[in-house]
Amino acid sequence: MELFNVYSLYPVEPVRGRGCFVYDEAGTEYLDLYGGHAVISIGHAHPAYVKALSEQVARLGFYSNSVENSLQRRLAALLGRISGYDDYRLFLCNSGAEANENALKLASFQTGRAKVLAMGKAFHGRTSGAVAATDNPAISAPFNRTPNVEFAPLNDLEAVRAKLSTREFAAVIVEGIQGVSGIHCPTDDFLRGVRAAATETGTQLILDEIQSGYGRTGRFFAHQQAGIRPDLITTAKGMGNGFPIGGVLIAPHFEARQGMLGTTFGGNHLACAAAIAVLETIEREGLVENAARVGDHLLGELRHFDRLKEVRGRGLMIGVEIDGPGSELRRRLLFEKHIFTGGAGASTVRLLPALCLTRELADRFLEAFAETLKK
């Protein structure tokens, strides 16, 4: 049997990592400014993370959600306190797409409505409902397409208001920052306006913080910059530092009933141990604050480069739009400078490093980036 060939692969295989670096079999060191799609939040092989997972798997790796698991309660309490959402409740699952599926389902249960409003250029996952709310026909099969999902342009508040005024929509879903489309930020005024329109029309506001959450933007969740509180918040990527886990933060007005949601692997013992270690490390090492400081430095320096078309983002979630093919620049950074970056579209380079990135490593990237741009 061979692998189903759906990925474009670089001929590089990281076999170990430490902090903001990964290494191949030959020992070549690479500065990782992509973190495997924003997944590595506290750094590769963080000692506290390794210890927590090792000790937990030696005790108990898994049992189902038919029994008590105090790690889930501990995780929920810690996440609530650190994020500022201690009055919300937590449903644990396995991935970002699954988190969005459950958030959409909860909104429909709550309102009795079937329709969802998403933003143009949105990406919410590849499973059935999540991909239907993703603005990319190339990855949506005929089975996934539905008249129950409509789109409005990001930051066009009047378009959103007009759609929601029909009172047909169970939910409006917005990314804290659009990642896959190339790091496009909703304005604070737009988010505040969407919150008001959703409240007025009985629509549930879902904030997809799967890529933009967990401190990446210099706030725990990106939407907190706008001072709003969504009805549902989805999270995944940086939640487990590489161990698969996702979650939905659920506002108090939702009523839980047995059997409403469910999962076999969601909130398992290893996933909870990983997620607890991540939160404790974020708090202990001040990584949200570090993301704000180092991100501001990177954004400020990049905006002085005269050969860039645009620099977008917040904290350590940065999109650099160049005048030319981004894929070629990323390839040269990888093979000439040994720096991993990410892509989005034809001309955007994405930076999504671990939140422990230092200013010195940021400057190392800036120097290499400047040299690569000149060629």
Residues 16-28 pLDDT 10s: 999 999 999 999 9
Mean predicted confidence (pLDDT) in 235-251: 98
**Cα–Cα distance measured from residue 10 to residue 229, given in angstroms and rounded to the nearest whole number:** 40
**Cα–Cα distance measured from residue 341 to residue 308, given in angstroms and rounded to the nearest whole number:** 16
pLDDT score, position 345: 85
DSSP states of 327-371 as a string?
HHHHHHHHHHH-EE-EEETTTEEEE---TT--HHHHHHHHHHHHH
**Cα–Cα distance measured from residue 318 to residue 353, given in angstroms and rounded to the nearest whole number:** 9
**Cα–Cα distance measured from residue 350 to residue 38, given in angstroms and rounded to the nearest whole number:** 10
pLDDT score, position 305: 92
Please enumerate in sequence order all residues whose Cβ is within 8 A of that of 326, keeping only pairs 6 or more positions apart, or say none. 343, 344, 345, 346, 347, 348, 349
pLDDT score, position 200: 98
pLDDT score, position 54: 98
Which is higher by pLDDT, 141 or 375?
A: 141
Give the H/E segment covering residue 55.
helix 47-59
pLDDT score, position 171: 98
Residues 223-240 pLDDT 10s: 999 999 999 999 999 999
Mean predicted confidence (pLDDT) in 298-311: 94
pLDDT score, position 221: 98
What is the rounded (10 degree) CA torsion for 36, 11, 320, 156?
A: -60
Residues 74-89 pLDDT 10s: 999 999 999 999 999 9
Give residue 52's pLDDT band: very low, low, confident or very high (50, 70, 90). very high
pLDDT score, position 107: 98
Mean predicted confidence (pLDDT) in 118-139: 97
Residues 342-361 pLDDT 10s: 999 889 999 999 999 999 99
Give residue 92's pLDDT band: very low, low, confident or very high (50, 70, 90). very high
If we measure between CA atoms, which residue out of 36, 47, 59, 49 comes closest to residue 276?
49
Mean pLDDT over each residue of the chain, to the nearest integer? 97
pLDDT score, position 346: 87
Pairing of strands 317-322, 29-32: unpaired
Residues 143-169 pLDDT 10s: 999 999 999 999 999 999 999 999 999
Q: Is pLDDT at 327 greater than 80 in this prediction?
A: yes
**Cα–Cα distance measured from residue 67 to residue 294, given in angstroms and rounded to the nearest whole number:** 43
The first and second tokens of residue 52, run together, are 């927590």
Instruction: Supply the Cα-derived Rg of the chain in whole angstroms.
Output: 20
If we measure between CA atoms, which residue out of 46, 53, 3, 4 comes closest to residue 21?
46
Residues 197-207 pLDDT 10s: 999 999 999 99
DSSP states of 138-167 as a string?
GG--TTT--TTEEEE-TT-HHHHHHHHTTS
Q: Is pLDDT at 136 greater than 90 in this prediction?
A: yes
